[in-house]
């Protein structure tokens, strides 16, 4: 059995945790579990919840915990039944202390309470605002294009060719609202993991490849 199976990425909005999660999955052959992707996929089912999720995202509002967790548990179940699972990376959850507690219980349910690493990717406040107000999102596949290096010159989505647009809540007011949420909800959750001595700090204020190197090193890979 390999030593590390579950990697959780935490960080302020714009810290690049989604990018790092995807890179790590590619590098190590891990599965990816991200709330953004899961929710987008769920909107394809046109039942009550599918439609309501779409509506809620379009209004720039947050999806409540029970709805996210139902989708999450289904995904974890599919991982559990997979042969040769090497590991998986969690991106975009937990968002609050209660979600962290639920996630811990869920992982324990599946026998995954060991072999877990929690990374906190941090960047300075000024950089958060800069990255969030300038980044773009693919209108077709939902890929977030970070405002970083060569990516700034992209005219179309580098994955599917879709049109790049700005996210509705990536204006200054939206960013300030998300930072307030980050301080009041997310940071106490980071503290929760800190108290358990589970947080590994990563400096996210450098080129994407350098951040990826730091993560791999701290993972012991």
Residues that bind Zn ion (CB under 5 A): 138, 140-141, 143, 157, 159-160, 162
* Options 75, 131, 135, 136, the catalytic residue: 135
Q: Which is nearer to Zn ion, 42 or 143 (CB)?
A: 143
Is 217 one of the annotated active-site residues of the chain? no
Q: Is cis: bond before 154, omega within 30 of 0?
A: no
Q: Which is nearer to Zn ion, 17 or 143 (CB)?
A: 143
For 141, residues 6+ apart whose C-beta sits below 8 A from its C-beta are 157, 159, 160, 162
Q: What letters, b where the CB count within 10 A reaches 16 and e where it falls short, cover 141-177?
A: ebbbbbbeeeeeeeeebeeeebebeeeeebeeebbee
Is 40 one of the annotated active-site residues of the chain? no
* Options 5, 42, 75, 95, the catalytic residue: 95
Is 80 one of the annotated active-site residues of the chain? no
Q: Which is nearer to Zn ion, 40 or 54 (CB)?
A: 40
* Options 40, 52, 167, 194, the catalytic residue: 167
Strand 144-145 relative to strand 136-138, pairing: antiparallel
Is 62 one of the annotated active-site residues of the chain? no
Question: Smallest distance, Å, CB 143 to Zn ion?
Answer: 5
Is 167 one of the annotated active-site residues of the chain? yes
From residue 143, give the alpha-carbon distance in Å to each of 14, 81, 87, 205. Answer: 14, 28, 23, 21
* Options 5, 17, 75, 136, the catalytic residue: 17
Question: Smallest distance, Å, CB 22 to Zn ion?
Answer: 13
How many angstroms separate the CA atoms of 89 and 3, rounded?
A: 14
Q: Which is nearer to Zn ion, 34 or 87 (CB)?
A: 34
From residue 43, give the alpha-carbon distance in Å to each of 35, 46, 93. Answer: 12, 6, 19
Question: Smallest distance, Å, CB 1 to Zn ion?
Answer: 36
**Catalytic amino acids?**
17, 95, 135, 167, 178
């Amino acid at each position: 059995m390999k030593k590390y199976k579950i990697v959780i990425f935490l960080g302020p909005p714009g810290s690049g945790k989604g990018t790092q999660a995807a890179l790590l999955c590619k590098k190590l052959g891990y599965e990816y579990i991200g709330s953004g992707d899961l929710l987008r996929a769920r909107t394809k089912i046109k039942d009550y919840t599918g439609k309501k999720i779409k509506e809620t995202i379009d209004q720039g509002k947050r999806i409540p915990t029970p709805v996210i967790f139902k989708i999450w548990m289904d995904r974890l179940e599919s991982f559990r039944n997979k042969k040769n699972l090497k590991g998986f990376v969690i991106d975009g959850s937990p968002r609050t202390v209660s979600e962290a507690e639920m996630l811990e219980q869920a992982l324990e349910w599946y026998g995954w309470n060991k072999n877990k690493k929690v990374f906190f990717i941090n960047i300075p406040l000024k950089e958060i605002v800069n990255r969030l107000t300038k980044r773009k999102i693919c209108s077709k596949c939902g890929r977030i294009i970070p405002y970083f290096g060569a990516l700034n010159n992209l005219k179309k989505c580098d994955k599917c060719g879709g049109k790049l647009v700005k996210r509705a809540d990536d204006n200054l007011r939206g960013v300030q609202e998300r930072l307030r949420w980050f301080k009041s909800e997310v940071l106490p959750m980071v503290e929760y993991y800190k108290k358990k001595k589970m947080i590994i700090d990563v400096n996210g204020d450098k080129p994407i490849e350098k951040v990826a190197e730091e993560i791999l090193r701290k993972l012991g890979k």
